[in-house]
Amino acid sequence: MHALITGASAGIGEALAREFHKRGYRLTLVARRKERLLDLSEQLGGDALVLAGDLQNPTSAQGCVIEAEDQRGPVDVLVNNAGVQIIAPAESTDPEAGERLLDLNVATPLRLIRHVLPGMKERKRGTIVNVASMAALSPVPGMLYYNASKGGLANASEALRGELWGTGVNVVTVYPGPVHTDMGERGIAKYKPSLSATLAPWGTATELAERVVRTVELGGARVIYPRAYAVSLLLPNLSRWFSLKFAPELES
């Protein structure tokens, strides 16, 4: 089984690469930082295909998938993990940076899905994994473009799962809450210390990756992690109210 993972050089993407490798998948690792990918591939035995690409450019990102298919065969599991955050007041957010975020977080995943989907449907098997965020269910103030991107990706992902029902192609939507990664730690540092931030449950990239791969193999629909955040799916209005009411303030 061939799994292609974007944003595999660190954090959740790296943990997913390690977990898929542990389960015996052939890997293609895609990210901007080739040196990090090569180091990870070496740690995994040196048999992963490493492709450095500009994932903010959907056309360039699609080229990486084409190259992966040429070298390793059809993609059985596409993991759209690459993403960035911008945490700042809406009025001071650079719109060009925000639009680049939308390309990376939404346009590129949709382009890659569009590329692999015909083959998956023809083979009557395959899995698409879209790493969204709890921000898609309970948006947090101070992340205008990030909230928009993850909400868009999550809604597209959930709808696609319904569209593909009965085709043999599965779609898994992943909703991580706070996870101890470099991006997660940098993000929380943008907010003032608060009781809500202190009490918020955090998880690890390793445990999240284990749950994602298990869900892929079981044909499940979604992963919400840490589990405490599952209430956001069951009681979305209450969750949004709580998120907005008790959101920490941005650092000035």
Q: Which residues carry out catalysis?
A: 146
Distance CA 186, CA 67 (A): 33
In three-state secondary structure terms, 166 is coil
Residue 208: count other Cβ atoms within 10 Å of its Cβ.
24
Distance CA 157, CA 144 (A): 20
Find the DSSP H helices in 58-204.
58-72, 95-102, 108-123, 144-163, 182-188, 195-199
Radius of gyration of the chain (CA): 18
What are the backbone angles phi and psi of residue 26, rounded to the nearest 5°? -80, 135
Residue 183 tokens read as 């991006």
Q: If we measure between CA atoms, which residue out of 205, 204, 236 comes closest to residue 81?
A: 205
Distance CA 206, CA 226 (A): 12
Q: Are 174 and 228 in contact (CB under 8 A)?
A: no
Determine the length of the chain: 252
Please, which residues have CB within 8 angstroms of residue 193's CB and are 6 or more apart in sequence?
248
